[in-house]
């Protein structure tokens, strides 16, 4: 991790977008999420993934509302 602390601003921005794109896939994973989260066992990791899922589901709901579908 220490080597990553020397990243340029452009590299950091690029990594942020890469992580964002990967996290966007989270709600689309065809898994029983409760089983996975239970298996993780780390409360911080569980909270992170639940939060990520909530963020993207909220964005999807906002898109549907803005389109007048819901």
Instruction: Using alpha carbons, select from 51, 58, 52 the residue that is nearest to residue 20.
Output: 52
Global pTM reads: 0.58
- pLDDT of 11: 94
9-38 burial by CB neighbour count: b if 16+ within 10 A, else e? eeeeeeeeeeeeeebeebeeeeeeeeeebe
Residue with tokens 């993780």: 40
pLDDT in tens, 45-64: 888 888 888 888 898 899 99
């Amino acid at each position: 991790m220490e080597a990553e602390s020397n990243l340029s601003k452009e590299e950091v921005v690029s990594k942020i977008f890469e992580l964002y794109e990967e996290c966007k896939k989270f709600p689309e994973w065809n898994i029983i999420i409760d089983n996975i989260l239970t298996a993780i066992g780390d409360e911080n990791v569980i909270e992170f993934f639940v939060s990520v899922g909530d963020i993207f589901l909220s964005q999807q709901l906002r898109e549907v509302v803005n389109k007048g579908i819901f």
